[in-house]
Amino acid sequence: MGAAGSRLEKALGEQFPEGERYFGLENFGNTCYCNSVLQALYFCVPFRDQLLEYYANNKNTGDVEENMLTCLADLFSQISNQKKKTGVIAPKRFIQRLKKQNEIFRSYMHQDAHEFLNFLLNELVDILEKEHNAAREPLQNLPFQKNSNGTIDGQPNGSHKELAATWVHKCFQGILTNETRCLRCETVTDRDETFFDLSLDIEQNSSLTSCLKNFSSTETLNAEDKFFCDKCCSLQEAQKRMKIKKPPNILVIHLKRFKYIEQLQRYKKLSYRVVFPLELKLLNTVDNSDLEYSLFAVVVHVGSGPNHGHYISLVKSHNHWLFFDDENVEMTDESMVQAFFGSPQEFSGNTDNGYILFYESLAERS
């Protein structure tokens, strides 16, 4: 990437952000699904900062066993500490660990970028929670003295049983609430669930806003789908809808571009045109507050089907848009984002489609 790297440096010139590094990632045989997601995560600055802080705090700890977290932290540290501003890095150790950790990613077959992102974030959380619990264990084994008010010295009120929110949670976790209204007694039942990303059904010639609206649309439960109402003590017709109770700082949206077609007995790619804005207003929240988000990364699937193709990513860094395609990194333009909305025609040669969208809360940035 020597010539490409120097072209990139030349294109940025004096605008090259101080201390920033733009490095391509070597492909180890169909690992573009991994490279494209890693680039999006590297330019998710709150996540990167926390990961580099974790690396700095643990690099001198000799007894830390290798895992997905240590390998990712090591990779991000390698990139951020490069003397050159541009170049290529081989994420060999990370890929080896990924394959060791999960057999799904061991083959040289085309893998799913969204599946990888989900696995990675949940794996990081598991590791951080285990480390948190291990650090607390010596405290829990100390002799405690009970006070007259029922609390115990040296121990928060029962909080040792609760898992602390990790920095991965603080970056990506939101809370959905499932509201179900019984149509007989009008009782509303709320059930909360956490999420790291929202998977949205898509339609032809639609927008991200309309997909989010459909996600929170009211659904009637009747016939075989009736709801058991605790107040009525019986199955009743009901209305159900999903809303965002706590929006995340980093909103990750997965567009469901792969649909199982019963007649074909296989998955088909939907290259539908779905317009996703650079600035997004999140309307489907419980308190109806119009939260604003800014797009900073797009993972793009290139190809006509789920079992073959390629992944690339578009990333915004310091108000510049960059195009990452494994080893290659190029400057691009904001208008390039529109090229990945999808095709307005059912059968079209355009198969380069936005698949995973990364938005940062403007409130978090300020």
User: Looking at the annotation, which residues are catalytic?
Assistant: 32, 310
Q: How far apart are CA 122 and CA 141, in angstroms?
A: 29
Q: How far apart are CA 133 and CA 136, in angstroms?
A: 5
Angle between helices 32-42 and 45-58 (to 10 degrees): 90
The dihedral of CA 290, 44, 356, 115: what is its sign?
Answer: negative
Q: How far apart are CA 38 and CA 107, in angstroms?
A: 19
Q: Identity (one letter) of the amino acid at 86?
A: T
Q: How far apart are CA 154 and CA 160, in angstroms?
A: 11
300: part of which helix (H) or strand (E)?
strand 291-302
Q: Residue 309 region, left (φ>0) first, then alpha (ψ -120 to 50), else beta?
A: left
10 Å CB burial of residue 260 (0-12, 13-18, 19+) is exposed
Instruction: Annotate 274-306 with b (16+ C-beta within 10 A) or e (fewer).
Output: bbbeeebebebbeeeeebebbbbbbbbbbbeeb
Provide the pairing of β-strand 274-275 with 206-207.
Answer: parallel
Please report, in angstroms and rounded to a whole number, the separation of the first and last CA atoms in the chain.
36
Q: What is the dihedral of CA 79, 249, 244, 315, to 10 degrees?
A: -40
